[in-house]
Structure 1
Amino acid sequence: MNRALRYTAVGVAAVALLAGGTAGAFAAPQDLHKPTSVVATAPTAASLTAKASVTTVKAWEQFRITGIAKGIAAGSKVTVQQKQGGKWVALPASAPVNASGTYGVRVKLGIKGVNQLRVGAGSTVSPVVTVTVR
Structure 2
Amino acid sequence: MNRTLRYVTVGVVAVALLAGGSAAAFAEPAQLHAPTPVVATAPAVAELTAKASATTVNAWQEFRISGIAKGIAAGKKVTVQQKQGAKWVSLPAQAPVNAGGTYSVRVKLGLKGVNQLRITAGAVNSPVVTVTVR
TM-score normalised to structure 2 length? 0.75
Partner amino acid, structure 2, of 1:105: V
Counterpart position of 2:130: 130
Matched residue SS, 2:43: coil
TM-score normalised to structure 1 length? 0.75
State how many pairs are aligned. Answer: 106
Equivalent runs, 1:19-38 vs 2, <5 Å: 29-30=29-30, 31-32=32-33, 34=34, 36-38=36-38
Alignment RMSD: 1.4
Distance 2:86 2:37 in 1: 49
> Could you list the runs of 5+ residues in structure 2 that have no partner in the other structure?
1-27
Larger radius of gyration: 2
Distance 2:51 2:112 in 1: 20
Distance 2:94 2:100 in 1: 17
Counterpart position of 1:17: none
Distance 1:35 1:73 in 2: 34
Aligned-pair CA distance for 1:35: 5.7
> Could you list the runs of 5+ residues in structure 1 that have no partner in the other structure?
1-27
Counterpart position of 1:50: 50
Distance 1:52 1:111 in 2: 16
